[in-house]
Amino acid sequence: MKDAVLEKRLGDVVDVQSGFAFKSSEYSDSGHFLIRIANVQDGYLSLEKPKYVALNAKTKRFELRAGDILTSLTGNVGRVAKVEPEHLPAALNQRVARLVPKPDAGIDAQYLLRFLHSSAFSGFLEERAHGAAQANVSPSVIGEIPIPLPPLEEQQRIVAVLDEAFEGLARARAHAEANLQNARELFAAELFQVFENELPATSDKTFEEITSESLIGLVRSKKEQGLDRQYDYVKMQNIGNDDRYLGAVVDRVDCSPSEEARFRLERGDLLFNTRNSRELVGKSCVIEQDFDRPTVFNNNIMRVRFFSEIYPRYVALAFRSGPVKEQLEAMKSGTTSVVAIYHKSLKKLRLPVPEYAKQRTLVERFDELDGAVQRVIQSYEMQIKDIDDLRQSLLQKAFAGELT
């Protein structure tokens, strides 16, 4: 087939229409669903955070129809999605383009859609994108993209072969994703079982009863931070999902001798995010490394130190358990974007506190389980990547004339 295929530019076979620059002041609670850059995802249109507009005589030509093919012109350029009936009525916003097959151009709409999902399309746009902060392409660049155009009958055959192959890949991907989700939930389920059922309620203590010290960190403005400063400055984004994880610290500040004595971090300290986004508040980690440079922490973090009969990593593990997380979630207060867990609330947190040896045994048990779960997760993530790579390989072969 390869030698017989005619190659054209996309501009020869499709019309490319860029969207209208609707103003945010024109948004309303009803009307036409305005499809913006954020709505155009890889293979589908997102319905999250919808905006609506009313069309008039000037903007009527930006009304979308079911089956319209859209692509992103800014950011992650070349994302492609199709308008479905449930998206209507809808309108086309700026930096999103609609691609419409030209009448009598000899291109099948489904063949076009498969081509747009291939790296031949996205790769061409990425190479020609410009912009420092984020990538941008113009609609005219889309028109320059070469596309192999066999006879309609051959286009339809290619679509049928791809669809059959993609159905099998979709089933394999769904199976791998289900197993991946199960693996991710295994650790949490086992942790819930232990803290809900295995540890006796008689061992419960309040957070205040087990802490010898709790301290909110230093306030430093952006102007007071810089690479020429003396102390590494831990912020809430450095604290991840794992109770042993402290991410790379990139900010630095200066401290007085009295501040160093008060706020310097040491091995065994537990750090707890007290104030920021709902997702980050409540996360914690235990310092298990020695620092290359003296290190302090900021005022969105509480440093906690415990009495000698408490193993710090056990407390961090307890924070990840369902029963304790439910209490922490109930303690959060604030606005939609910024929430906090105040110390007066945290002091009342109740958690089971078995003897010290049992605390260490549980941490070791869940470290081993976590390692096994992470290996399973990595395996399924690799399977999903391989499936996606195979899908792209099939598309590449299809548009190179190598699909039999």
Per-residue pLDDT reduced to its tens digit, 298-323: 999 999 999 999 999 999 999 999 99
pTM given for the model: 0.74
Q: What's the rounded Cα separation, in Å, for the pair 379 and 374?
A: 9
Please name every residue paired with 216 in a beta bridge, in sequence order, or none if there are none.
Answer: 302
List CB contacts of 261: < 8 A, sequence separation 6 or more: none
The pLDDT value given to residue 272: 93
Q: Which of 272, 271, 274 is nearest to 332 (CA)?
A: 274
Given this model, what pLDDT does residue 347 score?
94
- With bands split at pLDDT 50, 70 and 90, how would you rate the model's confidence at 1? very low
3-state secondary structure of 252: strand
Q: What is the CA radius of gyration of the chain?
A: 28
User: Tokens standing for 382?
Assistant: 């690799």
pLDDT (0 to 100) of residue 135: 79
Whole-angstrom Cα distance, residue 359 to residue 44? Answer: 47
Bigger pLDDT: 292 vs 158: 158
Cα gap 12→31, rounded to integer Å: 34
Q: How far is CA 5 from CA 1, 116, 148, 217, 396, in A?
A: 6, 18, 6, 67, 15
Q: How far apart are CA 224 and CA 221, in angstroms?
A: 5
pLDDT, one tens digit per residue, over 15-47 is 999 999 999 898 988 899 999 999 998 888 988
CA 203, 206, 207, 210: dihedral to nearest 10 degrees? -60
Q: Is the pLDDT confidence value at 2 over 50?
A: no
138 CB burial (10 A radius; 0-12, 13-18, 19+): middle
Distance CA 229, CA 201 (A): 48
The average pLDDT across 47-66 equals: 92
Q: Which amino acid is at 167?
A: E
**Which pLDDT tens digit goes with each residue over 353-375?**
999 999 999 999 999 999 999 99
- Paired tokens of 120: 């031949």
3, pLDDT greater than 80: no
Place of tokens 């002041």: 25
Position 112 scores a pLDDT of: 93
Helix 119-128 / helix 356-398 crossing angle, nearest 10 deg:
100
Alpha-carbon span 284 to 306, nearest angstrom:
14
- Amino acid identity for residue 345 in this structure: S
- pLDDT-derived band at 137, boundaries 50, 70, 90: confident
Q: How many CB atoms lie under 10 A from the CB of residue 49?
A: 8
Q: For helices 312-319 and 356-398, give the axis angle rounded to 10 degrees.
A: 50
pLDDT bucket at 404, cuts 50 / 70 / 90: low
Q: Which of 239-243, 274-278, 336-340, 368-372 has the highest mean pLDDT?
A: 368-372
Distance CA 70, CA 35 (A): 9
pLDDT tens-place string over residues 154-204: 999 999 999 999 999 999 999 999 999 999 999 999 999 999 888 887 889
Answer yes or no: is pLDDT of 245 > 80: no
Mean pLDDT calculated for residue range 324-329: 92
Note whether 288 and 267 are within 8 A (CB).
yes
What is the length of the chain? 404
Strand 350-352 relative to strand 204-206, pairing: antiparallel
